[in-house]
Amino acid sequence: MIKFDLEVDASGLQCPLPLLRLKKAIMEIDSGAVVKVIATDPAAHLDFGVYIDQAGHIPLKIIKDVDKQVFFIQKK
């Protein structure tokens, strides 16, 4: 498992709330730190992908289960 500095549980939230929670978490951590986000919105990976790419953060791992997705993102 990947070591992380902050966990955000966005379970049960629909777009754009998981993305807003991710953005808030990224602002709270230092450069190089890792945030873990749990989301049940099936489209979260699309929103996260665009944001991560535009902001330059590093997607370390994405785990897709039937009912949730878990993202590990390192702040640039």
Catalytic member of 15, 33, 60, 62: 15
Tokens of 69: 């997705």
Tokens of 53: 């790419």
Q: 23 CB contacts (<8 Å, ≥6 apart)?
A: 51
**Active-site residue flag, 15:** yes
Q: Which residues are catalytic?
A: 15
